[in-house]
Structure 1
């Protein structure tokens, strides 16, 4: 387990509650309207942080918000004892292991020199100038990493309060650590259900499509997978855009994981999918994977 991460992703309920959640998944009430957030500091609200190692030579800052605090912020005491309250909360205030796997994949794929991220005034990488969207961002560390490397980044989470109280302060705290001469790419923040967010971003003059779409620990259930895939289909830029999805092979008790998500993507037929990184978690008996979704090579000539 990576330093600073919560224990292995699990939902804090027993078998009876697990069965109930699975029964309710057929028609989840995810209908939070899409909206863009404009950040306004809230005086008197403390923001406590800690550093977490991302790679050798690079640590990022993340906020610390307990389950009890999250329950107070969301005005729902169920959040204090459960990481999944359908239609209300999906663990956004916690930091899960697959976030680190996704950050490492970004560093490797886009030739980021970790030791230069916080110190080099002329930091350059293949992320420079990319348009990036992180879906279900929570802490937002993968998106923040790409932002620090020169990408324009949009962050999305179902809950507005997760963005206000965690994602945005995390982004500000990390960007403040960069050399003053480093350009600051633009960021935007969006809350709401994935299907509604997809429609919002394609219809409101936001540019519509992204070179890279990121998501971590979001495909734990079949309904979540279906909503995420629909959003990616709406927003990924053809022909060369890619989506990187970090998750566990199985999420016991809720039925999702990378194996079932790959099957869904293959049945849908829009994207090719492959495993680009894999970590065996011996402690949990599970496997963490990073999946890549891309447009099939056969369609690329039609977009050129």
Structure 2
């Protein structure tokens, strides 16, 4: 690791479970079929939220679903004790720290202020009319920021029940807080594995390509990194589309992180990549949270020709 030590960040499981996950990575079966979900509120199912500050002066709300509730929804008791069950669940009901970092990166890149995003009756932004995709969205806060700024946003998560019980109601709860005259752009929801979702979006009349792709805390393992990069390559719009990927530099026990993902992108040679934001973790861990920018080089790679 070039003389750097990997700090002890881990998902919510112990050493034995981490070692088991590493063994199972070769590779787990990710075959959840891709589909577009049309959200309809379920009668009698409450949705509770709490405020979360995603940038200075910008407070959104996030749904509150406990690990036990997630296990019940997914019908898998393992989810109550672990945030990662390969091929089954990837932490979608949790709000991870890098989501706020990604929200800040969207604001900074597109010249948005918290005050105008949350309070302006009319908003003219660089994201107006753009097409945005958030991969592995969970609560969908970065995508919600883009939606508030006037973009059409598609939200993707591996588990359809995460989209139904968390993402879609969370999008609605946040958009309802906007000033009434503000236009409400379209939001769509897609479930399934990244490979199958990529094929679905390019082959079913959805337009297939995005001006901005967002993803937060999804590159925790090498297999996850490879699948995410292939999906971005399939769906990012050349020549000006960009992807913003937020992650910790290291994920102890599962082998991934922003450092190894950046190296993977550089070896692949399709995109240029750079670190556009970083935040040192608190509590003495020594780990760093980073936001990576992926963009097309000046000369488009033959892959896209």
State if a TM-score over 0.5 links the two structures: yes
Matching residue of 2:5:
none
Separation (CA, whole Å) in 1 of partners of 2:173 and 2:20: 40
| 2:3 alignment counterpart | none
| 1:246 match | 246
| Aligned 8 A contact 1:99 1:141 in 2 | yes
Cα offset, 1:26, TM superposition: 1.1
After superposition, residues 65-144 of structure 1 pair within 5 angstroms as 65-144=65-144
Aligned pair count? Answer: 296
State the match for 2:295 in structure 1.
Answer: 294
Per-residue Cα deviation, 1:104-154 (whole angstroms, up to 9, x for no partner): 011111011201222211122211111000000000000001001100000
Cα distance in structure 2, aligned partners of 1:40 and 1:299: 42
**TM-score normalized by structure 1?**
0.94
Query: Corresponding residue for 2:64?
Result: 64
Deviations 1:246-272 (A, max 9, x none): 000000000000111011111111111
Residue 213 of structure 1 is matched in structure 2 by 213
Alignment of 1:136-285 (within 5 A): 136-283=136-283, 284-285=285-286
Matches within 5 A, 1:27-46: 27-46=27-46
Give the aligned partner of residue 53 of structure 1. Answer: 53
Q: CA deviation at 1:286?
A: 0.3
- Deviation of 1:13 after TM superposition, in Å, equals 2.1
Q: Following the alignment from structure 1 to structure 2, what is the Cα–Cα distance between the partners of residues 285 and 113?
A: 30
- 1:16 is aligned to 2:28: no
Q: 1:3 matched to which residue of 2? A: none
CA contact (8 A) 1:56 1:115 kept: no
Q: Which runs of 5 or more structure 2 residues have no equivalent in the other structure? A: 1-7
3-state SS of 2:46 partner: coil
- Residues in 2 aligned to 1:238 and 1:272: alpha-carbon distance in whole angstroms: 13
Alpha-carbon displacement from aligned partner over 1:152-204 (angstroms, at most 9, x marks no partner)? 00000000000000000010011111122111111110000000000000000
Cα contact 1:36–1:190 (8 A) shared by 2 = yes
In 2, the alpha carbon distance for the partners of 1:161 and 1:9 equals 27
Q: Is the 8 A contact 2:37 2:189 kept in 1?
A: yes
| CA apart distance, 1:84 | 0.5
TM-score, normalising length from structure 2?
0.94
Give the aligned CA root-mean-square deviation in angstroms: 1.6
Deviates more, 1:274-283 or 1:287-296: 274-283
- The whole-number CA distance in structure 2 between the counterparts of 1:293 and 1:116 is 27
Is the CA contact (8 Å cut-off) linking 1:9 and 1:96 kept in structure 2? no
8 Å CA contact 1:99, 1:246 repeated in 2: yes
Distance 1:37 1:187 in 2: 11
1:215 Cα offset (Å): 0.1
Structure 2 distance, partners of 1:297, 1:150, is 28
Q: Which has the higher contact order (CA 8 A, sep 6+)?
A: 2
Mapped contact 2:128–2:150 kept (Cα < 8 A):
yes
1:9 to partner: Cα distance: 6.5
- SS state at 1:237 partner: coil
SS at 2:118 equivalent: coil
Shift of 1:10: 3.0
CA contact (8 A) 2:9 2:252 kept: no
Give the conservation status (yes or no) of the 8 Å contact 2:220–2:255: yes
